[in-house]
Structure formats: C-alpha cells, structure tokens
Structure 1
Amino acid sequence: MSPPSAARRKLGTPTLAMLPRIADSLSFLYLESVRIVQDDTGVCGRIETPNGTERVYLPTAALACVLLGPGTSITQPALATFARHGTSLVCVGAGGVRSYAGILPASLTTTWLERQAHAWADTTARTGVATRMYTHRFGDTPTGATIAQLRGLEGQRVKVLYRTLAQKYGIKRFRRNYDPTAWDAQDLVNLALSAANSCMYGVVHAAVLALGCSPALGFVHSGTQMAFVYDIADLFKMRVTVPLAFSLHASTDPEREARRRLREDFRLLKLMPEIVTSIQQVVSPEHAGSQIDRSTSITHLWDPQLGQLPSGTNYADLSEES
C-alpha cells in the first residue's frame, strides 16, 4: 500500500483528532480546515491540493459528536446524513476550545437529560449532586456538611491553591479579579485565567450537548443558560486552567498564550472522555458507564403510576374494553 499523501496526513493529524470511544458509546471527531460533503459513497472530508482533491471518508454511524473547527464548511446533504445517524454537531473554536452553537439530532436519546432534570427538580437529589461535585473537586467532604459549608470549604481551598502557586512563581500577591466589562484591565495572571476558563467552557459545552444534557440546568450555579457548563468546568479548573494561568505570569500576551498552549497539545480536547464520565458520575452515579443504544429512537408515553407506556396505541379502545 502506498504511503498517505501530504494532504491526507494534513487532514488526519493534527487537524483531525479522533478521541477514544467512551461511556454510552460516545466518540468525538474534531475537524479543521475541511469541507464536509456527501457523495454517492458517503460523507467525506475534502481538501483541495495542487495535485487535486483529496477525500477522507468519515465513519458517520460511529460518531456521537463532530466538532467543527475554524475553516470547516458542511453541505446540507452531509448534515442530513449526520442527523439520520444521531450525530451531534458543535461549532467550536480552534483546537476545540470555545463552543458557539450546537446542532442536536432529533433521534438523540433523552436518557441523560431526563436523569439530569429529575435530579435538578428534587431538592434532596439536587443537594446530592452538588455534594458529589464538591467531593469530585477536593477528594473528600465532611460528612453531613451543608451546601453553605461546602461553599465555604471551596473558598478556603481555592485560596490555598492561589497562595501556593503565587509562592511558586514568585508573585507577591494575587487576588482573583474578573470583570467582563473591563477585560483588558485585569493583571496578567487574571487575564490568562479568564482566557483559559473561556476555553474550558467551550470544551465542556460540547460534551454536555453531545450527551444530550441541558447546559441550563445547573446544580451549584443557576440563573443562566450556561449554569451546568459552569458546574462541570469547575471540576477541572483547579487542575488545568489555574496552574496554566500562573505559569504565564510573565507572558507579554497571556490571553493569546493561554489559548495557544491549550490548542497546541489538545490538552482540553483530551479531557473530553473524562468530562463525559464526570457528568454521568455526578448526575447519576448508579448509571455511569451504562450502555445506551443510540441506533433506535423509541418514543414512550408517561404515566405517573405506570411509568413508561408504549406509544402508537389507541388507549380509548383499551379503556372501552376494561
């Protein structure tokens, strides 16, 4: 077999990044600088080269989410094929950072959305999810601690981390200061941290959409369409974005450097499987890692006493028989 052409290598790496299959048979594909079209054979990524058009066919049936990065375009027939296979499409920034919009197929299962909504609507269950989120971040929490106490504990541990990193990089004093209306007025570490966090939100947003959950139904945060995104992003900030921001304390352009560093090695994109698993573990740990059949789209009817009932049945006829 002849070696792959330069164009095919360019499409495959680094502009094409396939993540491993994870819980619920989710797999993610990141595309950049590619035109996605439908031909007689299937959906392919097409790139123009001096030697002609190179094509790489995409495994549409095996994909749960396609991340459309800069320079991508897609035709309506290709979109329709992804929709038929139950694949979500998310428009993202370079390297998967930042999420601008999502297209969800009508056949996407609502299993995890329903689990999220059920836990969110019940005060006891919501408290349990919030507690698991704090435990996920810090490893342990005091038994029987209230949410107010956990918030206080969070604040203390974040301060300790800031102080430790400030000492490590020789920063005399650091205080988190974020004002979106005065973005450029932030000091270098705060500017890098704000930029890195915005990148993290994009990656988490893509994972939430691909799983079928609602970005708006948060457990710790509330009152915004991104509440759940902020919840999940907080699980990773102390490990990913905060240390990176402090390491850029002497950068001449910390905002640009933070985004470049996160894009270069796909650090955040490689976190995608862990993000999806973490969502499942905090929302419904007893179902985390369970397999969901995405090949079918079955609609049920809901009954408060009987649970799920089959649709497509005339219940007037059954009522007359009883």
Structure 2
Amino acid sequence: MSSSDLKTILHSKRANLYYLEHCRVMQKDGRVLYLTEAKKENLYFNIPIANTTVILLGTGTSITQAAVRMLSQAGVLIGFCGGGGTPLYMGNDIEWMTPQSEYRPTEYLQGWLGFWFNDAERLEAAKILQRARIEFLRKVWKKDRDLVLSGFDVANPVIDNTLSSHYEKIDSTRKPSDLLLLEAQLTKQLYKIAAQNNNISDFKRERESTDKANGFLNHGNYLAYGLAATTLWVLGIPHGFAVMHGKTRRGALVFDVADLIKDALVLPLAFICAKENATDQEFRQQCLQAFTDHKALDFMFDQVKALALKNDPEKEEQTSS
C-alpha cells in the first residue's frame, strides 16, 4: 500500500488506540505486528495501522526501525511511557514521536497564532474550552445509561448545581491562573461525588498513589493525552501554544485539549472500575469504548478547529459544513 492509502481514514474517525507492554513491535510481510513471548510459543498480533491514531509503548517494549517507518507513513503517533500508561520520567511528561510530514494544513496554526499573542483573546479561548468541557460532560452524563445507573446523572441536583455554578464563574475569571484554580475546584468536587457514588472512602487524588482509583485516573488521563496530541498534530498546531496550562510548559496545549473529555469519561470510569476491582486491561478497554461511543476524538477536532478559526467566520463555516 502507498503512504496515501494508509492515510485514507481520517484521524478523527480512526477506531484504535493501543497501549502495549512486554512485547516487540516489528514490520513483517508489509504489516506492523507486535510479538509476545511465552514459555512455549511466540504469538504475533497484527496492528491495523491505517485505522490507528496512537500507539503507547509501556514497560518492556521495543520497536524496530522498519515498524517506525510504516507507522510514520500511516500518520500514527508513537508514545513511550511507563507501566499502565503513566509517564516514565518526572511523573508529569510523556515522550512523543511524530511523523515528520510537512503536508499538514497551515490554516489552523495561522488562526491559532492570530489570537495567541493577545492575552485577552488567549484567555477567552481558554474560557471557550472550559465551557465546552462542561457542556460535553452534561451531554455524556445525560445519555450514557451505564454512567447514569452508577450515579453520574446530571439530573442529580448536587451535580447539576455544581456544574451550573462553575459554568457561571468562568466569565468572571480575569487571568489563566484563576481559570486553572476554578478547573481544579470543579474536578475536586467531581472526585468527591464519584467517590461517594462508588463507596470509596477517604479518596485523595495523588498521582503517585498505588490505589486502584488513582491508578486508573493516571492511566485514563494518558489515553486522553494521546487523543489530544493526535488532534493537535493532525491540525498542525504545536503543543507549546497552550491557552491555560502555561505558556512556558512544553506540551501544555495537550493538557488543555485533553481536559475536554477527562472529567466526562475518564473520571467516572476510573471510580466505577476501582469499585469493581477491574484489571488495567478491563479499565483500558472500557475507556477506549467510551471514547468511541461518545466520539471523543471527533469532539476534540471540532472544538480545536472552531477555536483556531474563530476570527475567520467564513472558514469556520466551511469547516463545520
């Protein structure tokens, strides 16, 4: 297959995000495979690269140059991370390898930079993302039957009042640090609600903690970062042009975009799976299924594209159509 054939499926429509550990990724007979080694036999599994957005390589993995070449041709992002999808170094970062294509669109980067150097416009962009985050959460927690049955229901007065209160406060923020504080307060309240819904007492959010809920939150958040990084790479917007998480923090825009879906999908599933004592693989599968069911990647693309073109109504209308 040619490189153009491998990119036929748009990234926003691709179905697969892989986290691999204790295996070897290689190219064999024109396909990308991963090899697991058992005592009595070695097993090969095919990776459908044309329908894959991100591959996260965790503990005990290796990858060949030929496999990287094919993944690059298909536009797949490769991430190196620690066990369970959590970062390998410093506890707050992840290393991405991105295909070096110069054929990505320029209009979104140009539109992004058109407002990014203006402090007021950059803050307004951050507010738009935060409003979209709450709107998406309301939408998901209203229609996802499994989440509603587990207590994540926007019809619940406590949840409804919490979301409404924070939505109203977004307009009154005067600087990115105020918005970050507001975001942290909302997430903290959602943690409390989630812990109560699932009878998890004395929960405290600690990234280095070994309890199930914290582990699943770390794991799911890094899956969301994979989707966010894919969105920004495809649209050609460098990860350093953040609107809220800090202008000097490398990769901060990934965190801004990932926040669009983390509270709506990762947070409730982390607590539900912790209550059910699920395995990492079971939690990961539920997360990926939720991303697909609620079109999380599509939502990220739509929000970032609209934000990039917000000062060019004609292009924004063309994009939405």
- Shorter-chain-normalised TM-score: which range? 0.5 to 0.7
Give the TM-score of the pair, scaled to structure 2: 0.60
Per-residue CA deviations over 1:46-98 (Å, capped at 9, x if unaligned) read 88xxxxxxxxx999xxx9x8656888985799689x5xxxx7342258xxx88
Normalized against structure 1, the TM-score is what? 0.60
Secondary structure, in 3 states, of the residue corresponding to 2:239?
A: coil
Which residue number in structure 2 is paired with residue 236 of structure 1? Answer: 261
Query: Corresponding residue for 1:175?
Result: 204
Query: Quick one: structure 1 residues 188 and 69, their matched pair in 2 at CA, closer, same or farther if it must change by over 3 Å?
Result: closer
> How many pairs align?
245
- Structure 1 46/155 Cα, relative in aligned 2: closer, same or farther at 3 Å? closer
SS across alignment from 2:98: strand
Q: Which amino acid is 1:121 matched to? A: F
Identity %: 19
1:290-301 to structure 2, matched below 5 A, reads 290-291=318-319
Cα distance in 2 for partners of 1:153, 1:58 equals 39
Whether 1:196 and 2:224 are equivalent positions in the alignment is no
Tell me, yes or no, if structure 1 residue 259 matches structure 2 residue 293: no
Q: 5 Å matches for 1:243-322?
A: 243-250=268-275, 255-263=280-288, 267=292, 270-285=295-310, 286=313, 287-288=315-316, 290-291=318-319
Paired amino acid for 1:141: E
Q: Give distance in 1, aligned partners of 2:242 and 2:198.
A: 34
Deviation digits for residues 263-287 of structure 1 (CA, Å, limit 9, x no counterpart): 4676489422211112123343344
Q: Does structure 1 conserve the Cα–Cα contact (< 8 Å) formed by 2:14 and 2:53?
A: yes
1:291 Cα deviation (Å)? 4.3
**Equivalent in 177, 192, 203 of residue 163 of structure 1:** 192
Instruction: Give the one of 110, 128, 146 matched to 1:114.
Output: 110
Give 1:246 deviation, angstroms: 0.7
Query: What is the match of residue 120 of structure 2?
Result: 124
Question: C-alpha distance in 2, partners of 1:137/1:165?
Answer: 17
| Partner Cα distance (1:267, 1:77) in 2 | 27
Q: Please say if residues 192 and 245 of structure 1, whose CA atoms lie closer than 8 Å, have aligned partners that are also in contact.
A: yes
Partner of 2:75: 88
* Counterpart Cα distance in 2 of 1:271 and 1:99: 22
d(CA) in 2 for partners of 1:161, 1:58? 36
1:200–1:118 distance in 2 versus 1, CA, 3 Å? same
- Measure the CA separation in 1 of the matches of 2:49 and 2:204: 47
Per-residue deviation, residues 130-186 of structure 1 (Å, max 9, x unmatched): 1112211234334443235434432332232112111111122222112xxxx3x43
Q: Secondary structure of the residue that 2:168 maps to in structure 1?
A: coil
Shift, 1:225, TM fit: 2.2
Give secondary structure in 1 for the equivalent of 2:97: strand
Moved over 3 A (4+): 17-22, 26-37, 44-47, 65-80, 97-100, 139-145, 147-153, 250-257, 263-270, 282-292
* Partner Cα separation in structure 1 for residue 132 and residue 200 of structure 2: 29
Provide the alpha-carbon RMSD of the alignment. 4.3
Judged with a 3 Å threshold, the aligned counterparts in structure 2 of structure 1 residues 220 and 171 are, in CA distance, closer, same or farther, namely same
The 1:277–1:91 alpha-carbon spacing in structure 2 relative to 1, beyond 3 Å, is: same
Contact in 1 for aligned 2:133/2:261 (Cα 8 Å): yes
1:153 maps to 2:153: no
Q: Is the 8 A contact 1:19 1:270 kept in 2?
A: no
Tell me how far apart the structure 1 counterparts of residues 261 and 64 of structure 2 sit (CA, whole Å).
29
Q: Which has the higher helix share?
A: 2
* Matching residue's letter, 2:300: I
Q: Cα distance, 1:216 vs. partner? A: 1.4
* Separation in structure 2 between the aligned mates of residue 173 and residue 126 of structure 1, nearest angstrom: 37
Where does residue 7 of structure 1 map in the other structure?
Answer: none
Contact 2:111 / 2:309 at 8 angstroms: preserved in 1?
Answer: yes
Change in Cα spacing, 1:264 to 1:241, as seen in structure 2 (3 Å) is: closer
The one-letter amino acid of 1:133's match is: L
Q: Which runs of 5+ in 2 are unaligned?
A: 1-5, 19-24, 34-47, 58-62, 86-93, 136-166
Distance 1:229 1:131 in 2: 16
Whose radius of gyration is greater, 1 or 2? 1
Distance 1:34 1:28, change over 3 A: farther
Contact conserved, 2:180 with 2:244, CA < 8 A, in 1?
Answer: no
CA gap 1:136/1:77 in 2 versus in 1, 3 angstroms: closer
Distance change (3 Å), C-alpha of 1:262 and 1:99 = farther
